[in-house]
Structure 1
Amino acid sequence: MPYRSLLLLAPTLAAAALVSCGGDGSSTGVQSFPPQDVTAEMEKFYQSKPDFFQFKTIADLPADLNWVDNADQPEIGSPNAKKGGTAHSFIDDYPRTLRIVGPDSNGSFRNYLLDDVSVQLAHRHPNTFEYMAGTAEKWAVDMPNKTVYVKIDPKATWSDGVPLTTDDFFFMFFLYQSEYIQAPWYNNWYSTKYSGITKYDDHTFSVTMPEARPDMDALVLELNGLPTHFYKELGKDFPQRYQWRFQPTTGAYVVRDEDVVKGRSIALTRLDDWWAKDKKQWRYRYNVDRIEFTIIRDTTKAFEEFKKGSLDGFGMNLAEYNYDKL
């Protein structure tokens, strides 16, 4: 899909005119649902699984942990990269939902909602393949005890300004193990690949695995957490209630309600006050202000729009385009 690499490195881009292309043009609107609060059920769930959800204090942390932050990794991006502008791209089908989990959520647009934009606890450096800090400030791997310890960066916040805390990782396990999300793969993975999570304070936690594995660090450091406050209304109507609600993200881009025009277009907008905008490994990335996707279902038409300059990029995957037509 065009522009996936744009979200990973985001060089400078020039603005151009957005191409409209069919559809009903309706925006998401805000569907009304009766109020509900899953907090009591969530707390009861934690209490029912005392071996999985544990609560300790900072004094209980092992004294011999080897905390690392890999701050010496070479920086990604360039200080010479200019920020601003609008990138114009296209997708050949409209997203079925803005949810990142549950029915119809695993579509190709999910990359722009989660995979390519959200900041995990840590990310693999593309050159050294060592982990570099994301929402984690530092971490420690205790292989003999099958446990990874994490300290969350106290500056890390969700895109709506709410701080990221240990509770959001507790809630992640609650939601992903819940039948409400109608996602059996998630239910199985988050129940069997992990054997427990322990809270030490609001920014310190550990996750334990059933067995020591070479990729044990990846199983923890590549977690995102989930905004507890956003999913407070979790219940049996989860797929419908959250169908067109954009989940707050730790990443630089958000989807605004007014930019969701069903059947026609959808856009990502960069946050001016993104918490990681001055953080090493992140400050020279995600430079474009806005990414606008128009629905163009026919590849030939999309190629013509690209040649006219209405689109800023086109994937040259087929010889028909990269050799015969260009």
Structure 2
Amino acid sequence: MKKLLSLSIAAALSSASFAGFAATLPADLKWISNNDEPLFASEEAKRGGTYTTYLASFPQTLRSVGPTANSGIRGYLMDGTPKLAQRHPNTGKYIPQLATSWAFGDDNKTVYFKLDPTAKWNDGEKVTADDYLFMLTYNRSKDIVDPWYTDFFTNTIVDVVKYDDYTISITQKEELSQATLMSNINLPSNGVQPRPEHFYANDKGDKNGDGMPDNFVKKYNFKSEPTTGAYYLDKVKKGKSLTFKHVGEDWWGYSNRYYKNRYNVEKIRMSVIRDTDIALKHFEKGDLDNFRMVFPSYWHEKSDSEAFEKGYVQKFWGFNQTPQGAGGLWMNTEMPLLNDINVRKGVSHATDFDGMIANVLRGDYSRLPSGMGFGHGDYSWPDAKAPEFDVALAIQYFEKAGFDKVGPDGIRVNEKGERLSFNITYGYPVHTPRIAFFKEQAKKAGLEFNMQMLDPSAYFKYALEKKHQLVFLHMGSGDTPAYWEYLHSDNAKPQTNAFNNFSDPALDKLIDAYRAEFDETKRAEISHQIQKIVEDANIIVPGYMVPYDRQVHWRWVKFPSTPMTKQTELIFSPIDLSTFWIDTEVEKETREAMKAGKTFEKVVVIDDKFKV
């Protein structure tokens, strides 16, 4: 039986939420379920087997919010777990997840949801409306030490009302279109999902009365919450490995037609392998089931292994049409010299992204026209244009900034003797040739780039704490561009995604207007204005986009006959759409064949159905 909220937690719930216990559901709601959209998983899928993969570094926390929580496994803990609804990966219509249906209020602020009564946490407790009430308490608490979520659940999501155990409404502050209301609620990273109130109900550590333990960050650093997803964290070997286990055949999600034949593997085992080349060796020995080869140097030089030639390993290249997030070379405008726009303009024209794509990446990637991303339909500014590599123009801007002399080492200096030198922080060895290319090209303009590679988790933490000068970083994206978290002056502080530390009152007003605008056409126009300001400010050198997934995998790793959807980012991700499976009989056959010297036909699959 579900445990009652402690008094401290109950006291922290909003008065509006309490009013919801006696609230009357509007009678004229038009409920939407979209239960007839096409399926995208395979009837041939088999359950079972262990999927073996790797992590470049061990996560610094098992929390999904708070300091250092935005790690490589957060998808397993939050982003990739069920929301109320999810966009169909091909048609774009919302389809049921934790909600069976939804309806829109007349106020253009409220969405009503009927919860799936079969939904359960992996510990067996039912998911009810109380978990959504607690969601507000959880995310509004200062004890989670996460300014983004505290703001979002205070100033965007302003109330949750309970009508009965399985019916709720969620109200947002501004009048918005139905598309934006649903996007705000169901975007994976926004965290509008139930939080297990029973898991915290008996914690006596809430001294400040806000409903959450005062020492939440430390106490729950390596305690994982119950999940509604198909996989829960089963074993943790600190610094070495994580193992997730399937909830079982009776997982509540399988009553949903869109979840059938998905999440097929029994276990997910992640070992920490810090070096990519060493990880490839583990794959070639059969210790890892697949190896992602988006990197051109791997695909073009290392995919034709002996195991591939003998048919034990197969190749896959599939294209998608996913929106691209903000990314490239972010400049921290709070750092000395980078607060000068002429320096930033010079850096923009002295950073040779196009040359790097052509020479280092074999032309496989495409340039982002804007540092704020691409592929957002009407929201993408059609006139966006990435700065060209232009040594003469870069020098002009550097001279305007006072760097009109060249030192004996070829690097420009100003009258104070300051050298035109910046660190580029990055987190993966495979990026080293890319940064090295930038370094050599920048010298032509008298600019020095120093290469600062950190451990992947330390690298992102370093950027969140705003210790970087320049950081090489590409972020994910939702259906529409995100601006507040990256650009609003409210976030020009540590522990946020505002990696530029940039503040502009005019930009703040536009971002506030963008968040509040109801009319989609006007909102798109505001989006264009924001992107123009960002381009003119030269705070991000636009990076690249990769509209495909490319993998090598052992022949026992199977996927549907139509492998990719428009939104498939990782064909073998256990938490993305997770339509792949492990055929344990084929695995046995393959390993026996390897011992006996038997070979199979070489297989290369190219799925270009969604190639643009």
Deviation at 1:53, TM superposition (A): 5.1
2:19 aligned counterpart, secondary structure: strand
Q: Counterpart of 1:252?
A: 230
Q: Counterpart of 1:163?
A: 126
Deviation at 1:227, TM superposition (A): 0.5
Q: Give TM-score, length-normalised by structure 1.
A: 0.83
Residues 5 and 198, structure 2, Cα contact 8 Å, conserved in 1? no
Q: Measure the CA separation in 2 of the matches of 1:195 and 1:175.
A: 14
After alignment, is 97-106 or 210-219 more displaced? 210-219
Q: Measure the CA separation in 1 of the matches of 2:64 and 2:219.
A: 13
Distance 1:120 1:292, change over 3 A: same
1:325 maps onto 2:325 in alignment: no
The one-letter amino acid of 1:42's match is I
Residues 87 and 94, structure 2, Cα contact 8 Å, conserved in 1? yes
1:207 maps onto 2:170 in alignment: yes
Residues 110 and 169, structure 2, Cα contact 8 Å, conserved in 1? yes
1:198 aligned counterpart, secondary structure: strand
Q: Measure the CA separation in 2 of the matches of 1:237 and 1:318.
A: 41
Distance 1:57 1:73, change over 3 A: farther
Residues 157 and 163, structure 1, Cα contact 8 Å, conserved in 2? yes
Q: Give TM-score, length-normalised by structure 2.
A: 0.45
1:217 maps onto 2:182 in alignment: yes
Q: Measure the CA separation in 2 of the matches of 1:221 and 1:200.
A: 20
Q: Counterpart of 2:220?
A: 242
Q: Counterpart of 2:82?
A: 119
Q: Counterpart of 1:229?
A: 198
Q: Measure the CA separation in 1 of the matches of 2:152 and 2:261.
A: 34
Q: Measure the CA separation in 1 of the matches of 2:107 and 2:221.
A: 42
Q: Measure the CA separation in 1 of the matches of 2:219 and 2:22.
A: 37
Q: Measure the CA separation in 2 of the matches of 1:253 and 1:152.
A: 20
Q: Measure the CA separation in 2 of the matches of 1:52 and 1:151.
A: 17
Residues 52 and 195, structure 1, Cα contact 8 Å, conserved in 2? no
1:107 maps onto 2:78 in alignment: no
Q: Measure the CA separation in 1 of the matches of 2:272 and 2:186.
A: 35
The one-letter amino acid of 2:244's match is L
Q: Counterpart of 1:274?
A: 251
Residues 87 and 290, structure 1, Cα contact 8 Å, conserved in 2? yes
- Across the aligned residues of Structure 1 and Structure 2, the Cα RMSD in angstroms comes to 1.7
2:114 aligned counterpart, secondary structure: strand
1:68 maps onto 2:68 in alignment: no
Task: Select the residue among 177, 180, 200 that pairs with 2:140.
Answer: 177
Q: Counterpart of 2:8?
A: 41
User: Which has the larger helix fraction?
Assistant: 2
1:293 aligned counterpart, secondary structure: strand
Distance 1:211 1:249, change over 3 A: same
Q: How does 1:188-203 map to 2 (within 5 A)?
A: 188-203=151-166
Q: Measure the CA separation in 1 of the matches of 2:185 and 2:22.
A: 20
After alignment, is 81-90 or 104-113 more displaced? 104-113
The one-letter amino acid of 1:321's match is Y
Deviation at 1:62, TM superposition (A): 1.1
Q: Measure the CA separation in 2 of the matches of 1:144 and 1:55.
A: 17
Deviation at 1:178, TM superposition (A): 0.5
Q: Counterpart of 2:464?
A: none
Deviation at 1:225, TM superposition (A): 1.0
- How many residues align? The count is 284
Q: Measure the CA separation in 2 of the matches of 1:307 and 1:300.
A: 11
Q: Counterpart of 1:263?
A: 239
Deviation at 1:112, TM superposition (A): 2.0
Residues 97 and 256, structure 2, Cα contact 8 Å, conserved in 1? no
Q: Measure the CA separation in 2 of the matches of 1:305 and 1:43.
A: 50
Deviation at 1:43, TM superposition (A): 1.8
1:129 aligned counterpart, secondary structure: coil
Deviation digits for residues 147-191 of structure 1 (CA, Å, limit 9, x no counterpart) = 100110110111111000111011000110001111111111110
Question: What percentage of aligned pairs have identical amino acids?
Answer: 38
Residues 85 and 288, structure 1, Cα contact 8 Å, conserved in 2? yes
The structure, 1 or 2, with the larger RCO (C-alpha pairs under 8 Å, 6+ apart) is 1
Deviation at 1:76, TM superposition (A): 2.8
Q: Counterpart of 1:34?
A: none
Deviation digits for residues 91-125 of structure 1 (CA, Å, limit 9, x no counterpart) = 11001111111122111111122222x11111110
Q: Measure the CA separation in 1 of the matches of 2:139 and 2:213.
A: 13
1:43 aligned counterpart, secondary structure: helix
Largest Rg, 1 or 2:
2
Q: Counterpart of 2:446?
A: none
Q: Measure the CA separation in 1 of the matches of 2:196 and 2:120.
A: 10
Residues 108 and 176, structure 2, Cα contact 8 Å, conserved in 1? no
Residues 76 and 282, structure 1, Cα contact 8 Å, conserved in 2? no
For structure 1, list consecutive stretches of 5 or more residues without a partner in the other structure. 1-36
Q: Counterpart of 2:282?
A: 305
The one-letter amino acid of 1:250's match is T
Task: Select the residue among 15, 19, 30 that pairs with 1:54.
Answer: 19
Residues 54 and 197, structure 1, Cα contact 8 Å, conserved in 2? no
Residues 306 and 313, structure 1, Cα contact 8 Å, conserved in 2? yes
Deviation at 1:88, TM superposition (A): 0.9
Residues 177 and 190, structure 1, Cα contact 8 Å, conserved in 2? yes
Deviation at 1:279, TM superposition (A): 2.1
The one-letter amino acid of 2:172's match is M
Deviation at 1:38, TM superposition (A): 7.3
Q: Measure the CA separation in 1 of the matches of 2:12 and 2:53.
A: 44
Deviation at 1:255, TM superposition (A): 0.5
1:128 aligned counterpart, secondary structure: coil
Deviation at 1:56, TM superposition (A): 4.2
Deviation at 1:52, TM superposition (A): 5.9
1:281 aligned counterpart, secondary structure: helix
Moved over 4 A (4+): none
Residues 83 and 97, structure 2, Cα contact 8 Å, conserved in 1? yes
